[in-house]
Structure formats: C-alpha cells, structure tokens
Chain A
Amino acid sequence: MAPITQASDETNHQALLDKLDLYAIRKPFRKPTWKPPQRRNKNVKQIIAEASRKEASVMATQNNSGSSTPLPPATGADTGATTPANGVNRQPNIAQAAQNLSQLVLEKNLRAANSTGPTVTYTNIEAAPSLHPASQRHYCDITGLPAPYKDPKTRLRYHNVEVYGVLRTLNQATTENHLAARGAHTVLK
C-alpha cells in the first residue's frame, strides 16, 4: 500500500486505487455459471508430459493384440457360412465395434501423417543444436571479449593476464555464477 510512482501521493493514493480497481466493477459479460476447472494452471513441461502420456495410452489401446476381440473381424462377412439370422452374431459386439472405430481413426491418422510428414508439435519445431564449427567461438566469461585461454582449475575462459589476475581472486560461488551465465556450471542433482 505504498505509492511507487509520481502518479499519486499519500493523500490521493487510495482514491487512485479505488479508480483502478477492477474487482468492484460489475462484469455482466461473464457467465455466472462459469466455474473454472481446478488445477488448470500447468507449465509447459506438465502439458507436454500429459499430452505424450495420453498419446502413448491411446496408441496402446489401438495397437491391441486381439485379446480384447473375441472374434476376428473377418469371420462373418466373408464366408457367408453363418447366416445373418444367427442369433450369436446378431448380438451387438461392442468390443468389435470399438476396435473397428479405433482402427479407422488410426488409419486416418496414419494417412494424414504420411501425406505431410510428421505432425508439427510445439516440441519438434524447436531449433536443433548448432552443428556449425563457427559456433565454437570462445568468449571471456568476465569481460565478454574473445578468450584464447581457459583456466583449467575454474574452467573459466579469459581474455588476458589481467583478467586472469581477477579471476584468481573469485570465490567458488562467483565462479559458478560466471559459468552459469553460459550454462557451463555444475548442476548438482
């Protein structure tokens, strides 16, 4: 409850807050019946993990071994040995129907995949690591200048002897922070 800009001072700050506050404003365009689902805030990692888990489970059920199908799909139609009037086959076979449906979906997906290559997802459009030799240039961890040397003890790269003098005075935590800036620090798990 403190003013942090020039826009208000102690005397008119509360008035400004009252004016800016959105909580008290009526929002008729929101449906009163809307209840946000619980735990809907997920980070990218969670979302991706859940999506891939779901995909894996769908694949597992679609790619079934036949144990869930009491009858092979071709028995009835091809041979004609059994009449449609046969009481057993006239019973709706839910497992078979489900399998047919999932097969259909799978086939459709496969077709789609074949036509345009692998589907594009959030994860697979990420740029790959660099393979170009020029990306192996080294820069001084302290000044950012080109670094021909590396201190074997701290693993810091440095520009010249003066910078080396400085890096010898750094303690371990600072050294690690310098390394962390280029992602070369030791991560303890």
Chain B
Amino acid sequence: MANDAPPQSGRNSPKPPPVKLYSVKEPPFKGFQPVDTEGYEKSSPSTAIVIDNGSSTVRAGWSFDQSPRIQIPPLWSKYRDRKLNRTFTFVGSDIYADGTARGQSKNVYEPGSNIINNWDAMEGVLDYVFIKLGIDGESGGIDRPIVMTEPVTNLGYTRKTMSEILFECYGAPSVAYGVDSLFSYSHNSGRTGLVVSSSYTTTHLIPVLNQKPLFSHASRLNWGWYQGAEYLQKLLRLKYPSFSGKISDPQAEDLVQEHCSISLDYENELSRYLDWTGLEDRDHIVQFPYTEQVVVQKSEEELARAAEKRKESGRRLQEQAAKMRLDKLIRKEQEVAYYKELQEKITNTTKKEAKRMLESEDFDDEVGLGKKIKEMEKSIRKARNKDLGDTEEEEQEIPTFPLLDTPDDQLDEDGLKAKRQQRLAKSNYDARQRAKAEREREKARLAEEERLDNERREADPEVWIEERRVARQALLQKIRDRERLKADLGNRKSLANQMRMKTIANLASDNPTKKRRRGNDEDTFGADDADWGVYRQVATGEASDDEEEEDLNNSLKSIEAQLLKHDPLFSEQSTLEAQTDWTKSLMHAFTRGCWPHDPESQREANQIHLNVERIRVPEVVFQPSIAGLDQAGIIEIAANILTQRLDEGYRIDVARDVFLTGGNTMLVNFDQRLRGEMVAVMPAGSEIGVRRARDPLLDAWRGAAKWAQGAGAKSTFVTRAEFAEKGAEYIREHHLGNAF
C-alpha cells in the first residue's frame, strides 16, 4: 500500500480498464402463468387461501403450501384497443409484455405508501389470484376462507373497502387479517423481541411481549426500498444531467438491491470513498444500452482509389484550365497581330486618316497603341512561360523612379500622370522594405534577448529561476483572474457584468460622457490604440477571448518548459497540467470513476458510475435527514422504544431478540450495523441479539399459512354473517393482527 500511494501533487497512476461492467435488466416479464387447479382440488372448504397483500409483491397460495404459488407485483392495466375494438386486462408482470399495457398500468397502492389506493386494480389482482388458483366458482363465489395481510394500524376505510370486496364481490365465507411482519416473526418462532420490518414502502418497529404485539409502542418510518430507489433515481438525474437513457422504476430497485450495501462505519467509509486507492473496486459501472455511431473505416485499397479519383479529377481540371489558357493566348495573339497590322497601316497612311483609325479603335494616339501592344506581348510571354512550367523570375532589381526627380514644370500632362503613378509605386515599395527591415530587427532583438537571458542564467542561475517562478505565478494569477471574470460575467448581477453594461451603454450613447463635457470637447477615441481594447472587454461569448487564453497558456507552457530544463526543483509533476490532471479531480472520480472519460464516446455517455450512492442511499434508514425525511432513524426509534417506552422489566428480553424481516433488510450488513449501533445506545452490558428472518421476503406468507392451519385461528375469522351484522370495519383481535 505504501508504495502505491500517489505523490503529493502528481498525476495518479493509471488504472487498468474496468474489469466488470454491470447492466440493467429487461422489464421483468415472467411469461404466461398457467392455471393451477391442483391446489383447489386438494383443498377442502376449510382450507384458507392465504394472500400476502404486499406493496412490492402480492403472494398467494393455499394454507397447506410450503411457498406461495403466485407472486406478482401489484400492477394492473386495463385499456381498450380501438383498432381491435376490444378491451384488454393484464395483471402483475404480464403488463411488461406490451408497451401499451405498461403505459396504462396502475399500481394498487398509493405510490410510496402501504395503503391501497386503486380498488379497481385491487379487484383485478384478486381476480388474477383466484383464476390462477383454479377456483371454479360453481357456488357463485370463492368458497374458501381468506387470510390476508394488512399494514400495521390499517386505516378503517381501507379495511372496510377490502372486506366489502371480499364478502360482497367474491362471496368469501370468512376473512381474517393479520400483520405481515408479525406472521414472519411467528414463523421464525419468535416470542419476545423487537420486530424490525423494513420492507418496500415502510419500516416498522414493533415490540412483542410473549407473542403479544404492543402496537401502542410501535413506530413507523416512512422509508423503504421504493423510496431508496426513488432517491437513487433523483441522485442519478442530478449527477448525469445529460444522460439520455431512461432508468425505469424496477431497474432502479434492482440497482439498489444489487449495488447498495449498508456501511458499518458511514462517516469514515464515506470520507474515503472517492480516494484513488481502491476506487476501481468501489466504483461500479452500469452500462445502459446504446448505439455506437459507426465510423466507417476505409480500407487501403479504397483510400488509394479515392486518392486516384481525386488526382484524376484534378488532372482534368488542369487540362481544362490549360485549354482555356491556350484559347485566351491564341485570341490575344490574334489581337496583337491585328494591332500590329493597324500600326503598320497607320505608318503608311496620312496623318488624318491615321487619327481617324486610332480613334475608331479607342486610342488617343500612336503611343497608346504602342503601349497596348507592348503590354499584350508581355502578357503573352508570361502566359507561355507559365504553360511551359518555368515561371519567369520577377525582376529583382530595385525599380527606378526617374520621373520623381524631375520638377513638375518640366513635364507635360502625361508626364505628371506618370510621375504620380511612380510616386505611388515608390511609397509602396518603401513600405515593403521598411517592414522587411523591421522583421529582421525583431529577429535580431529576440536572438539578442535570448543570448542575454542565457548569459544571465549562467551568471546567476538562482536569481534567474526565481524570476521565472515569479513570472509563472503571475501568469497563473492572470489565468485565474480570467476564469473568475468569466464566471462573474455569467452572473447578471455581478460587478463585472454591471461594469460591462455601463461600458456598452457609453459606447452606444451619442451623448458625450461626463469627462468630455468638462473642458475639451474633442472626441479622442482611437487616438490611443489602447482605446480599442474596450471592445475586447465588451465582447463575450464563444470566440471572444479564446485567442488571449491561448496566448496565456502558450506563455505558461514556455515558462514551464524553461523551468523544467533548468530548475532542479521543478519537476514534471509541478506543472499546471499535471496538477489539474483528471486523476486528481474529485468530481471526475465522482462522475467517471478512476478511468479516463471520452466525451465523444456513446458507450461512455450511456454509463452510470455508482460509487458514493452505493452507501449513501441505504444509509437513509439510519439517517433519514439525508433524504430530507423529518423522522428519527431506526436506531433512535429502537433505542426510544427499548429505553423509554417499555417497562424496564421487559427491556432485557426484548433486546435479546431484534428480528429483521422485509426486503429492505436484505441489504448487505444491515444486521451487523444494527447490532453495532444498538450496543452503542443501550445501557452498558446489555445483551443484544440481532437475527434475520430465514427468508425475509416469503416468511410473512409462510407464517400466515401456518397460522391459518393452526387451531387457534379458526375463532378469529370474521364470517359473512358477522360482516353483515357488525359492519365492514369489524375484525376479531388476535396476536398477529391489528387491534380493533
């Protein structure tokens, strides 16, 4: 480990590519479930149908079964297909078979609560249960008693409606209700203890004394697996705002179950969670389906062919151009011949006639014609040379400007014109020469500077290095200032932005600013080159300061290069680039783990890294304030029940058997963490036993089935006659059910 630790300010050593990519599951469609008539045939009218009416899963079977025959999510979907003119109803995982069915699906329960909200869906689910259990309904109803679970302190309205449905719609002979976690506890032969039932939507703590639950001391925390999954989804949406994939609710629940675990020492583990060492194990990558943008890789042959094609078309173009040039040349030659002929003719005719001919050809006099001919011959020569491939060297000799020295009064009109032209040409030429000289001088100056610099370094290396360092610091400061300014400009109310607005207003306004009103009235904007800098300040957005930033970065790089070369204390790891390397970034570790990120890659854009979330999400049961739930955590609740609300005499017995049941308690380390923290809050020396249900999911159903078969249960069923007489909310109390 010691040699593994990264140096203080350097890049972290790279990690091998991730070993395992996790994925999310498909919609959990389980396939067609056949009707199972075997149980019904085996049953007698006194055999109860046991339904664990849970908010994550409805489980149903016969009381003599070892395990429930039916396990479905409480989902129901009913819709009318207009094309087929037909109504469809799907229940449970069947809704995942079809897009529309899934879109139309309704949950039986109110989201995030253990209270039934949609009774049509409830009836649909019960229909499914009774159909699949093979009940023939010859008597016009289900002729079997029903044992059903209900939440702790179920609401009167909910129980009433459920009883109404069971008795009046399904014609059940008798019905009994019980609490799921207590069934589970009795199935695990518990007598006295604290039942901690953390299930899908709620977490309950119920103390039990001699098999009698003390509901007056029970407590409910409104947090379960569902809320955890919802919280995880919320966190991931914030973590990856640009994530295009969709995480469905069942997928989020799977993520919680598969990747989350309870931390035994949350504070400690959390503060080290994103450390570089071992991050590859803590960081889980979940890969979502994606389509890679296919970049077509061309083969050698194809590339060669494409090049050939390009060359070919280039050649054709060249040929065309050459042909055109040739045509032009020929035309020009013909023109020259014509003009020459004209010249000849002119010399042979009278002056008057010559003048007429010249004028008809738009020439002023013979000189003009000569000039034209000369010009054309020159251009022909040039074109010919070009065609032949060798370009005639531009005459390098210094051009002469003979007319410039001649005084104006010695020249006629043409002379003056020519002189003007020559003057222009001369100033042009001079400027070019000056620029050239300037360049030479600059080059020399730089060379000289470098030489001096080297000299100085050799003479006094320490001072030199110190200077460089100061310069580097100044540059860094400048870069930082720029960044701050940029950030400030993003904020409309910041000082920087207000200044900018003021400047814009000043630039745009026609009125003179205050300064000019006092005294000098002249607008001197532009007299100083620095004045134009104001536009640079004003411009924001994409390209405004890229150039300058580039400049800063370049000079920083050159200084760092110099320091690297000559400063023994300045290593590669002290460069800005190394310090801002992604391996040093906490945010990178948070969003992308310990691997480099390629923003272009579709594969990586569809990846989710679970790291802190893996302990942060399940921690909410212990610290509900993390997710903004204003309730005490289970440790505090348990301590309160054990040390404050229970009589001291029972405390020891209850603390000896803390019993965990429900899907949410299946998280890794749930029992260990609970035990550890209970020891901390209970009086010293208390014996604390924490155990898990053998099957936290199915034991509630099994307990209910066992109870239904037992002798004592028969007297606690409410019959149809009692329902009619005593009202829909009436129940008989028993040790595993709610109080009336």
Contact = CB atoms under 8 A, between A and B. Distances in A.
B124 interface: yes
B238 A181 contact: yes
A31 B87 CA distance: 21
A22 B91 contact: yes
B612 A143 contact: yes
B35 to A, nearest CB: 9
Interface stretch (A66-74, A85-93, A162-170): A162-170
A145 to B, nearest CB: 6
Residue among B117, B155, B220 facing the most chain A CB atoms (10 A cut-off) = B155
B267 interface: yes
Contacts of A25: 131
A166 B590 CA distance: 12
Interface stretch (B326-334, B336-344, B632-640): B632-640
Interface of A: 1-8, 13, 16-17, 19-23, 25, 27-31, 34, 36-37, 40-44, 47-48, 50-51, 116-122, 125-132, 135-137, 139, 142-146, 159-160, 162-163, 166, 168-169, 174, 177-178, 180-184
Given A19-B32, A120-B216, A125-B218, A30 B628 contact: no
B157 A27 contact: no
Given A1-B100, A129-B631, A48 B155 contact: yes
B190 to A, nearest CB: 20
B533 to A, nearest CB: 27
Nearest to B143: A29
A163 B119 contact: no
Contacts, number: 227
Contacts of A177: 234, 237-238
Given A4-B102, A29-B170, A143 B586 contact: yes
Given A44-B113, A160-B586, A182-B627, 15 more contacts: A1-B83, A3-B97, A8-B97, A22-B124, A31-B171, A43-B115, A126-B220, A136-B625, A143-B274, A143-B587, A143-B590, A144-B616, A145-B271, A166-B587, A181-B238
A126 B170 contact: no
28 contacts: A1-B100, A2-B98, A7-B97, A8-B97, A20-B32, A20-B90, A20-B97, A21-B90, A28-B140, A29-B137, A29-B171, A36-B165, A43-B115, A44-B115, A51-B156, A51-B157, A119-B739, A120-B153, A122-B153, A125-B215, A126-B219, A127-B631, A139-B270, A145-B273, A162-B585, A162-B586, A169-B487, A184-B628
Nearest to A27: B127
Interface string B100-124: 1110000000100101011110011
Contacts of A20: 32, 90, 94, 97
B216 A118 contact: yes
Contacts of B119: 36, 40-41
B525 interface: no
Nearest to A146: B271
A22 B155 contact: no
Contacts of A36: 119-120, 123, 165, 169
A46 B334 CA distance: 104
B140 A120 contact: no
B624 interface: yes
A165 to B, nearest CB: 8
B632 A181 contact: no
Contact of A51 (B96, B123, B155, B271): B155
B628 A130 contact: no
A16 B32 contact: yes
B87 to A, nearest CB: 5
Residue among A44, A116, A143 facing the most chain B CB atoms (10 A cut-off) = A143
Contact of A183 (B123, B630, B637): B630
Contact of A162 (B87, B141, B587): B587
Contact of B98 (A4, A125, A129, A166): A4
Contacts of A48: 155
A31 B633 contact: no
B108 to A, nearest CB: 10
B231 A181 contact: yes
A180 B98 CA distance: 34
A25 B141 CA distance: 16
A106 B450 CA distance: 104
A128 B631 contact: yes
Interface stretch (B23-31, B361-369, B662-670): B23-31
B586 A125 contact: no
B26 A21 contact: no
A8 to B, nearest CB: 7
Nearest to A42: B157
A136 B623 CA distance: 9
A16 B270 CA distance: 48
Given A22-B124, A125-B220, A144-B616, A29 B140 contact: yes
Contact of A23 (B88, B135, B140, B630): B88
